[in-house]
Structure 1
Amino acid sequence: MLIINKINAYIGLLLTVIAISICPMIKVPFKGSWNLYQTDERLFFISIALIAITSLCLFVRQLRMFRLLSFVLFVWGLLMAAAVYFKTNHYFDSKFFDKVLAKTIHYQWGWIVLLVACLLLLTSVKKERLQV
């Protein structure tokens, strides 16, 4: 039987929405800090859809699907971080310009908030045996 810690689940969902929509993900010179929508719109919309489906599974008490989607959201966060890294390091075809761009663009604290929120979602559901 699956048991859910609702406080961790609700805090995790709230933090994922805040991390995806508001928190700065990268710092671009001359433009300032960018959130995920300004970095890549496709990653933003896929992330919002994953969060919406995960929250729907929580509210209709489909805990197996919620646990699976929490894991998918965690892996998706890692893939997003890797995608942004490769996009900044291989934006141009020239090695010189890629190195200059990679040195000027820096990750911000939004990635940490996103991964902590995904870890909260992962640890909110646990399996427990029934006592007969």
Structure 2
Amino acid sequence: MTAKHYTSLLGVLLVIVGGMCPMLRVPILGNWNYWEIDTVLATIVYTLCAIALLASVTRKQGLLRWCGWSLLLMLVLTLTAVYFKANDYFSFIPMKKLAAAAARMIKFQWLGWGLMFAGAFIVIVFSRKYKAPFQTLR
């Protein structure tokens, strides 16, 4: 395996580790990781990570690139869904200012999100095919 395959493996491992880090701080319930935010999205992301690990080991650059873009798409989808859900979570409270104050109590923990996005970007960048600069033509 070459250095870019190892770097792709590092990117996938960053996504996995980032998903286990705290991503949300809910006041009474504590810190939530990716699995506690939504189990269906977490299952999809971890399945994509398993496919990306397999693609990196078997040197399937196209599949690895597809997994990287799919991971990035799922992370953006999850981040927007969590943002809108956190702002809408207390909509049952009839007073708007109290509902907005309660929604501001939910805090994002950016270490987990950052690791996951960095890992997805690393997978995308290092899954490109590179030609050797001084390769001779046959």
Alignment TM-score, normalising by the size of structure 1: 0.85
Give the aligned length.
129
> Are 2:112 and 1:113 aligned?
no
Query: Which aligned runs of 4 or more in structure 1 are off by greater than 4 angstroms?
Result: none
**Shift in CA distance, 93/103, structure 1 to aligned 2, threshold 3 Å:** closer
Name whichever of 3-12 and 28-37 sits farther off: 3-12
**Shift in CA distance, 18/8, structure 1 to aligned 2, threshold 3 Å:** same
The structure that is strand-richer by fraction is 1
Alignment gaps of 5+ in structure 1: none
The residue that corresponds to 2:102 in the other structure is: 101
CA deviation after TM superposition for structure 1 residue 31, in Å: 2.2
The residue that corresponds to 2:125 in the other structure is: 123
Q: Work out whether residues 24 and 110 of structure 1, in 8 Å CA contact, stay in contact via their aligned partners in 2.
A: yes
The residue that corresponds to 1:7 in the other structure is: 6
CA distance in 2 between counterparts of 1:74 and 1:52 reads 15
User: Percent of counterpart pairs with the same letter?
Assistant: 29
CA distance in 2 between counterparts of 1:4 and 1:68 reads 20
**Shift in CA distance, 126/4, structure 1 to aligned 2, threshold 3 Å:** farther
Task: State the AA in 2 paired with 1:101.
Answer: A
CA distance in 2 between counterparts of 1:53 and 1:43 reads 15
The residue that corresponds to 1:31 in the other structure is: 29
CA distance in 2 between counterparts of 1:72 and 1:60 reads 19
Task: State the AA in 2 paired with 1:87.
Answer: K
Alignment gaps of 5+ in structure 2: none
CA distance in 2 between counterparts of 1:57 and 1:50 reads 10
Q: Work out whether residues 27 and 107 of structure 1, in 8 Å CA contact, stay in contact via their aligned partners in 2.
A: yes
Task: State the AA in 1 paired with 2:37.
Answer: T
CA distance in 2 between counterparts of 1:10 and 1:47 reads 15
Which of these two proteins has the greater Rg computed from alpha carbons? 2
> Are 2:83 and 1:85 aligned?
yes
Q: Work out whether residues 8 and 126 of structure 2, in 8 Å CA contact, stay in contact via their aligned partners in 1.
A: yes
Alignment TM-score, normalising by the size of structure 2: 0.82
CA deviation after TM superposition for structure 1 residue 98, in Å: 4.3
Name whichever of 10-19 and 89-98 sits farther off: 89-98
The residue that corresponds to 2:55 in the other structure is: 57
